[in-house]
Structure 1
Amino acid sequence: MKYDLNHLSLAVRLALTAGMLSVAAGVQAQVSTTTNPPATDQATDQATPPSREKAKTLNAVVVTGSLIRRVDVETASPVVTIDRETITNSGKPTLGYVLQDMPAISGNATNPSNNSNGGGVASPLLEAGGGASRVSLRGLGINRTLVLVDGQRMVNSDINMLPPDMIDRVDVLAEGASTVYGSDAIGGVVNFILRKDFQGVQVSLNDGISSHGDSQRRGFNLTGGMSGDNYSIVGGLDYNKYDATLASRRDFSRQQLYLSSGTIIAAGSSSIPTGRIQLPASIASQYGCDINSSGTANVTLATGDGSNLGDYRCRLSSDTYNYAALNYMQTAQKRTNGFVLGSYDFTPNLKGYVNAFYNRTESSGQDAPSPVGTGDGLIISSSNPINPFGVTFSQDPVPGDPDSGYNFQTRLTGAGTRVHSYKTDNAQINTGLRGNFGQDSSWIWDASINYSHSKRDQRDTNEVDIPALQAAVDGGANIFNQADPAVGKLLSAGVKTPIYVMTNSTKQAQFDASGNLWDLPAGTMQLSVGTLYRKQSMKYTVSSFAVLDPVTTRCQILQEACGSPASGSYNVKEFYAETLIPLLADAPGAQSLNIDLGVRTSDYSTSGSTTNGKVAIEWKPVADLLVRGTVSQVFRAPNLNELYDGRTLVQPNLNDPCVGLYAAELAQHAAACQYVPVNWGGNSPAQVNTFYSGAATVGNSLKPEKGKSIDLGLVYSPDWLTGFSTSLDFWHIYLSDTLTAITGDLVVSSCFNNSASPYCGLIHREDTTSRQPGQVFLINTPVVNLGTLNTSGVDFTLRYKVPHFNMGSMDPGDFQVGLNSSYTSTYRNNATPGEPGAQAIDYAGTYSQQFGNISRLRGTVTLNWSKGNWNAQWQSRYINSLTALNTDAAIPGVNIPIASVTYHSIQLGYAVPSIHTRFDIGVDNLADKAPPLMYQNGSNYNVDVSTYDVLGRYYWARATVKF
């Protein structure tokens, strides 16, 4: 369903314009007329006494989801807060694991368990093995979730870079908030609120290990702070280290699993160390091999050093290589953090502040040794002494050599595993001044400068250097016999370590002002206005030998590790405003009724201007019940990667509609089928290439994604049940012109159906001078604006702090229970609106490689207990059953049912006041529940590592001393 905001948006802008025109007069009146009392906050018969008004002004703060300073606990924005106690009780040394347990977070998101996707780098976007954790609210993806620190965006949205001891609380707003925060806040925002009141010094040590005896983590943090009448400062250091865990340490991931005819098959790669060697029938027949339709068969090394024909046998389908066993299930990680948070009151009306933090993350992922062969350009000549077969192994027939063009494929175990090592440095500083327009004025202002910088250095060891490997083979390195250490030493000369460096920076200047406008019968009308300028830049560099050649589609090393340099920047200028208008108070059926109107205009140097508005209603028919609703326009401007990413090679399965056509049919589709011969047999799959890239790389432009976010909810806090509160929210987010990388299939089919399609120019076929006219050599598949996406559902929360009671002479302590749940009703995507046969697919309740895990229902239940120096917590996390959509061609049309999963964790703490020390112990995944299998549909681990626990039962302990 759609909501038309055109008239509403106009009304919002008119109301805000009127309000802003009154600001100057209102401020002037308040500054010059000091004898007048300040405006009232509530609808009363008399003005609020100055002392009460001053107290309210001091207590008011900017809440997540609004620019208006409020004292209300509940507003129109459905914010879920994770407090310090929850963070501490989790026992997690990084924030990523804490946040990703929230029910509103789903879909695809990176976390420290992610290792790699087969080696190399597909683009600067990938950080597999980088130790990062990112957030995907509502399953809409990490690019549609905005991460903030005290309301300021992070240049690197890796939430593991933030030390937990730096955080006072985390506010999670799972609704669109573009009018408040600008681009990217479509699924919502995660706002980390910093500590500002720490006194003394605190030292904490932590350690943990799985019940399998691996995956150890350990660390410490040191936090100190002090404050005086006009200053405060908090600083700290944090260090944590995670050991790597091989996938072979768990039964479900020790080998790649496939599902065939209802049977689970443990399989692997056909690229094996003993070789997959194609031979003509004249040679292969002596081994008794079955000759295929092309008159060839494959053999492999069976014994000996491979120098004699008798050393070989027929290759069987069971001859595979278990590459999964060498992947990391948990990547090796080491983090060092430092932060300083300070403020100083220069005068009663002027304060300076600075928030600064730095993080270095060192991590590494691992892949099996490289598969390599003639398809990568390697040639083993028939005259080479290591070759006993008398034929030449090469990708194409060699002119003048009739016994050439036979395939050879091996696994380069002699050169060692491929290791992807990362060093990521992140720094951010936000500093500024804030004050008010006189001691008795309600108007405050804030001027800030925000600078952040991120640099990621990735080094891939043991990537195959084809010319160097060719030289080693030509020099006598017997690639048929990799079991020989001497051969391995020679082959190791055929590898290199490419370096890929990604740098991002943000520079921002911002000014905000907010205060009261005038008194209305129901209370005081408030206004907040602001403006900002932000410039974001990126640069990506690649070692020269790893730079992809767009003409040959190759680089000096294996294609999987080829990359392209990239750089770009944009700037944005924004103006925004929000007003809170009290309409009714203490009226029949309306204890209070407020309307919140907001608007933001953004001018991007790359994608132009966009204006977006919101309207929010807060209605309390009675004191115990809040009815709230927000309708807002949302947008996401194309980011730097989507604009400027360099070319990256992908080899897809292409369904070419030009196969087998008559001359008349080819003439009707001349743009899509250029150079294709009559009754053409089709492409050679190994030679079809696509180039993913940013839009600007191929000369295209992008516009922002746009859509609407709707939230309607109830908050009930009954006066008759002290300590109880519950909320129910219905939400709906939908987008059009979604930014996505187009597929090769869609490029060709769009051009085939419409010769005027803008995608026709992206297709490049071999011309009539080629040996294979019509063969698709290359399809450019850049990021484009295409598709619609909408999702809807219901959130439900419950909190109850049980009143203290005694059971006779026994005091059982204090209890608090909490429930947080999210139900996804729909998740519809139409990838090709306007194309023939295009239709929306509902992914709610499914797992897919494109969108990840969109289980319909997720929830957490938490029970807290405290008594004296003791406290304990029990938490359960539930993920509903779903269906894994099949993407494996080996089992077409077969979807995999995935059972529901419930995880339990417990924590127990005891404080010893005499030595200022507290001890905590805990167990995660108490039942040692294994993740549900998704087989080849999952990752290299056969499971969804972004959603489920892969380590099993985990024990942890922590000691904290404060003095």
Structure 2
Amino acid sequence: MKHDMNRLSLAIRLGLTAGIFAMAGIAQAQTAQADNPPSTDQAKPPSKNDAKTLKAVTVTGSLIRRVDVETASPVVTLDRSTINNSGKPVLGDVLQQMPAISGNATNPQNNSNGGGVASPLLEGGDGASRVSLRGLGINRTLVLVNGQRMANADINLIPPDMIERVDVLAEGASTVYGSDAIGGVVNFILRKDFKGVQFSLNDGISSHGDGQRRGFNLTAGQTGQNYSITGGIDYNKYDPVLGVRRKFSKQQLYLSSGSVVAAGSSSIPTGRIQLPGSIASQYGCDINSSGTANVTLAQGNGSSQSDYRCRLPSDTYNYAALNYIQTAQKRTNAFVLGSYDFSDNLSVFVDAFYNHTVSSGQDAPSPVGTGDGLIIPASNPINPFGVTFSQNPIAGDPNSGYNFQTRLTGGGTRVHSYTTDTGQINTGLRGRFGQESSWTWDATINYSHTKRDQRDTNEIDIPALQAAVDAGANIFDQADPSVSALLKKGVDTPEYVFTQATKQVQFDTSGELWDLPAGTIQLSAGALYRKQSMKYTVSSFAVLDPVTTTCQILQEACGSPGSGSFNVKEVFAETLIPLLSEQPLAYSLNLDLGVRTSNYSTTGTTTNGKIAIEWRPIADLLVRGTVSQVFRAPNLDELYDGRTLVQPTLNDPCAHLSAAQLAQHPAACQYVPPNWAGNSPAQVNTFYSGAATVDAKLKPEKGKSIDIGLVYDPSWLPGLSTSVDFWHIYLSDTLTAIQGDTVVSSCYNNNASPYCSFIHRQDNTSRQPGQVFLINTPVVNLGNLSTTGIDYTLRYKIPHFNLGDMDPGNFKASLSSSYTSTYKNSATPGEPGARTINYAGTYSQQFGNISRWRGTVTLNWNKGNWNAQWQSRYINKLTALNADAAISGVNIPMASVTYHSLQLGYAVPSIHTRFDVGVDNLSNKLPPLIYQNGANYNVDTATYDVLGRYYWARATVKF
């Protein structure tokens, strides 16, 4: 049977069919309502006569204080019981399993690959979890706490015991929340009115006997007549898991010409040593066209030429064995939530939390050689070959310029240690304008600060390593402990410190304007000022020199400092206008209008609006639709990040051209001679950076978000609720780091291209005129992106029943699914040869996992002191793009995956204690392989489980 016809896939299809039949039952519902009015315990929207008797609240996705739970915004809510039943100590593990989340998220399964990566904001290995709604990327998903944005969008920073529920809105919401809310928002709603003391212990371990996690949390609170205070501390620790502990990740797998090869790096501890044919011939090596061959250490200490043999293609180093598939991490959280009522019209509140995370990723020891500047002279006593190993021939030394490459195992594995401290406080006053007034107001101050200190242990310091080799450290024989001790002097620990802060003041007010026949017009309006700043510092010896493209340590770990800030002033308003109420085919009809004007100190002013319709032809059915403008202003990293070296392969269009042809492209082909052979080597240097680093200007991404849906809560079938939503999001001028090929081709096709200044070639005074020595590839506005799909949910609280004399208990079932129909990207619109690619149903390095179908089915049961939950999560099959290392354009299939989890709980009232146990990935499902296609572990760690079957237990006592 095909992969996509498993039980969960079938359940999703049946659920959608059930939704269609539910819509068809509207006529029956109208008749049933006429004959049998809804009972008082059936959930139905309040009429205009009883709305004022209920407490209005601000719902996620709107500024209006509402009584209605269901509005024009398609919000999915995870309540405390859902979070508790998952058994997850951190919120990231819960949120990232939702069907609306896809693409390239980050989590503790993503290992770090060292310092100096493209973005200091988005490093892996720091224990963070960040979400990507609709696959649009973590920068286009806004994370909120009680409606206030977090400076650090790592959802693992938030203590789970602090949360009452999580609202996930998977549509654009720029008019409500401003920049970044394009794919949607994740809003963590905090607990209120907690009384007593609660203490919990948890533990867990995989069926492989590794990946242990353990922790505790303590929460205490008190509520009085005019005050409430809750506080707590939380601690959890995760053990690291090496890739070698799992069959799929114990070695890097390559798909080459249709064959799967278990391979590794050609940089090996015994050396890849280039020798002239006159020496290499004694080993029987095949001499190449340059008259050289490679050998490696076979025995002994390397002091004699007889210790060596020819290097074989099978001589590789398994670096994957030393990578983590789960990073080591420890978190300590503390929080305080409080409020005090001075009077009926005035209160003060404070929401504050602090997180301290220590985590680490790990990589194999560094490869190093003459290409990094290392020189081993022929005169060095450790060198038995009588030739000099150097990157280039040395003047006066005819036997120089031979390559030497090794893996510095004597220097130790590279450990990337992170210490992250984050604090956030949101405080202020709220009240109402008089006892009889409907108008309320809030005046708030929001401050948050994050500092992340990254230390990369055992990064190679080239001058120090050179000194150790010159002093006699036998780099040919790293197996000798005494040699390793000397080589340890050739490594250092660069430090990269990233800080960011947000300061915001806001005032808003809400209330009623005037009455219409259908109800009262409501208005919410406000203004805010926010300043965001960042600073990134790098150890002096690790700072990238833009002239030499090197630093004192290996290029891969070179970084650049950066700093900057911006401020934004915003005014916003939203109004809800009731048009019809309790009319034939119009139980209610509301119009929701919103607008926000944002003035950024970096990009100027943008105004965005929305229009939403809420129509209930009958009380049981809500027809909703929202069209809103969305935008994302450039973030601090995209503006101010310093230079980072990248070395792509460049297809230079200026090669092999005549003088007449070159004359037609003077900007792109400056200094290129006629019939030029092309760049040597083909891999050139490019500098990723923020736009400001190269004096470029950015503007916001802009687009539209459309959502049209139905919500049906049939009164003729109590306990059932179902919804279906069509969504479409379109973006233009997307903010992205431009590629070197795009820079050159754009300038080649248009001499007036703004990217021409990014190209730097050797001039006519050089020995290699026309050679590209540097291309700036900063963040620019370039590209269009759109995605379309359908969400479907079904929730059913099964009516209580008895089986004879036996009470089976209470049951609830739910289905949540998301189907991505299109995910289209045009990387270079307007450029010759530009095309639009639909990534729906594919895995790619750029966009990650865009599976068409994702869904979860959950069944809950409780009876007396017992409760249980079964959950099944489904990810549809997809295609991995460009998966063959040897043949371009080869795609391979990835199988669908279904995960099952179980939870069982029992409460013991006499000792105020509850016990929970559970199993995740019950069937020990393995992730599908994608080989070397952008995956260090041969799999997509952002989407699939890598630990396998996992057991957990928790004990909770409440006083």
**AA partner of residue 216 (structure 2):** F
Report what 1:725 is aligned to: 721
Report what 1:714 is aligned to: 710
Shift of 1:686: 6.8
Report what 1:203 is aligned to: 199
Report what 1:27 is aligned to: none
The alignment partner of 1:936 has SS state of: coil
8 Å contact from structure 2 (residues 275, 292) kept in 1: yes
The alignment partner of 1:143 has SS state of: helix
8 Å contact from structure 1 (residues 373, 408) kept in 2: yes
- State yes or no: 1:376 paired with 2:372: yes
- State yes or no: 1:789 paired with 2:789: no
Please, which moves more after superposition, 765-774 or 738-747? Answer: 765-774
The alignment partner of 1:285 has SS state of: helix
Report what 2:269 is aligned to: 273
- State yes or no: 1:408 paired with 2:408: no
2:764, 2:384 → 1: CA distance? 38
1:146, 1:119 → 2: CA distance? 26
Aligned with 1:881 (options 864, 877, 880): 877
Shift of 1:767: 1.7
The alignment partner of 2:748 has SS state of: helix
The alignment partner of 2:833 has SS state of: coil
1:121, 1:262 → 2: CA distance? 32
- CA 1:673–1:889 in structure 2 vs 1: closer, same or farther (change >3 Å)? farther
- CA 1:206–1:699 in structure 2 vs 1: closer, same or farther (change >3 Å)? same
- State yes or no: 1:768 paired with 2:768: no
- State yes or no: 1:521 paired with 2:533: no
Shift of 1:286: 1.5
Aligned with 1:307 (options 294, 303, 308): 303
**AA partner of residue 375 (structure 2):** I
Shift of 1:888: 5.2
Shift of 1:671: 1.3
**Aligned residue runs from structure 1 range 445-464, under 5 A:** 445-464=441-460
Report what 2:942 is aligned to: 946
Report what 1:936 is aligned to: 932
The alignment partner of 2:233 has SS state of: strand
8 Å contact from structure 2 (residues 906, 916) kept in 1: yes
2:47, 2:593 → 1: CA distance? 20
**Aligned residue runs from structure 1 range 652-663, under 5 A:** 652-663=648-659
Shift of 1:296: 1.3
- State yes or no: 1:498 paired with 2:498: no
- State yes or no: 1:112 paired with 2:87: no
**Aligned residue runs from structure 1 range 78-477, under 5 A:** 78-117=74-113, 121-477=117-473
Aligned with 1:699 (options 691, 695, 698): 695
8 Å contact from structure 1 (residues 651, 686) kept in 2: no
Shift of 1:674: 1.6
Shift of 1:55: 3.0
The alignment partner of 2:515 has SS state of: strand
2:801, 2:260 → 1: CA distance? 55
2:834, 2:70 → 1: CA distance? 43
Aligned with 1:734 (options 730, 734, 745): 730
Aligned with 1:69 (options 54, 61, 65): 65
- CA 1:319–1:43 in structure 2 vs 1: closer, same or farther (change >3 Å)? closer
Report what 2:589 is aligned to: 593
**AA partner of residue 62 (structure 2):** S
**Aligned residue runs from structure 1 range 804-843, under 5 A:** 804-843=800-839
8 Å contact from structure 1 (residues 43, 523) kept in 2: no
Please, which moves more after superposition, 275-284 or 417-426? Answer: 275-284
Report what 1:927 is aligned to: 923
Structure 2 runs not aligned, ≥5 long: 1-44
1:531, 1:561 → 2: CA distance? 43
Report what 1:541 is aligned to: 537
Report what 1:28 is aligned to: none
The alignment partner of 2:465 has SS state of: helix
Report what 2:29 is aligned to: none
8 Å contact from structure 1 (residues 220, 239) kept in 2: yes
1:157, 1:837 → 2: CA distance? 37
2:695, 2:954 → 1: CA distance? 55
In the TM superposition, structure 1's runs of 4+ consecutive aligned residues that sit over 4 Å from their partners are 41-44
Q: Cα deviations across residues 842-887 of structure 1 (Å, max 9, x unaligned)?
A: 0000000000000000000000000000000000000000000015
Report what 2:888 is aligned to: 892
**AA partner of residue 499 (structure 2):** T
Shift of 1:891: 3.3
The alignment partner of 2:248 has SS state of: coil
Report what 1:646 is aligned to: 642
Shift of 1:119: 6.0
Report what 1:872 is aligned to: 868
The alignment partner of 1:155 has SS state of: coil
Report what 1:530 is aligned to: 526
8 Å contact from structure 1 (residues 104, 174) kept in 2: yes
**Aligned residue runs from structure 1 range 43-62, under 5 A:** 48=49, 55-56=53-54, 59-62=55-58
Q: Cα deviations across residues 235-258 of structure 1 (Å, max 9, x unaligned)?
A: 000000000100000000000001
Report what 1:633 is aligned to: 629
2:934, 2:388 → 1: CA distance? 39
Shift of 1:42: 8.1
**AA partner of residue 871 (structure 2):** Q
8 Å contact from structure 1 (residues 687, 776) kept in 2: no
Structure 1 runs not aligned, ≥5 long: 1-40
Q: Cα deviations across residues 206-263 of structure 1 (Å, max 9, x unaligned)?
A: 0000000000000000000000000000100000000010000000000000113433
- CA 1:43–1:192 in structure 2 vs 1: closer, same or farther (change >3 Å)? closer
The alignment partner of 2:613 has SS state of: strand
- State yes or no: 1:507 paired with 2:503: yes
Q: Cα deviations across residues 520-552 of structure 1 (Å, max 9, x unaligned)?
A: 011100000000000000000000000000011
Report what 1:856 is aligned to: 852
TM-score normalised according to structure 2 size: 0.94
Shift of 1:769: 2.2
Shift of 1:399: 1.1
Please, which moves more after superposition, 78-87 or 748-757? Answer: 748-757
8 Å contact from structure 1 (residues 207, 958) kept in 2: yes
1:406, 1:862 → 2: CA distance? 64
Report what 1:12 is aligned to: none
Report what 1:559 is aligned to: 555
2:737, 2:507 → 1: CA distance? 36
Please, which moves more after superposition, 822-831 or 294-303? Answer: 294-303
1:895, 1:513 → 2: CA distance? 55
Please, which moves more after superposition, 112-121 or 248-257? Answer: 112-121
1:402, 1:896 → 2: CA distance? 50
2:402, 2:72 → 1: CA distance? 69
**AA partner of residue 515 (structure 1):** G
Shift of 1:809: 0.4
Please, which moves more after superposition, 259-268 or 825-834? Answer: 259-268
- State yes or no: 1:617 paired with 2:613: yes
Shift of 1:624: 0.9
Shift of 1:768: 2.2
1:544, 1:307 → 2: CA distance? 37
Please, which moves more after superposition, 586-595 or 329-338? Answer: 586-595
**AA partner of residue 813 (structure 1):** G
The alignment partner of 2:290 has SS state of: coil
8 Å contact from structure 2 (residues 524, 574) kept in 1: yes
Shift of 1:394: 0.9
Report what 2:908 is aligned to: 912
8 Å contact from structure 1 (residues 132, 159) kept in 2: yes
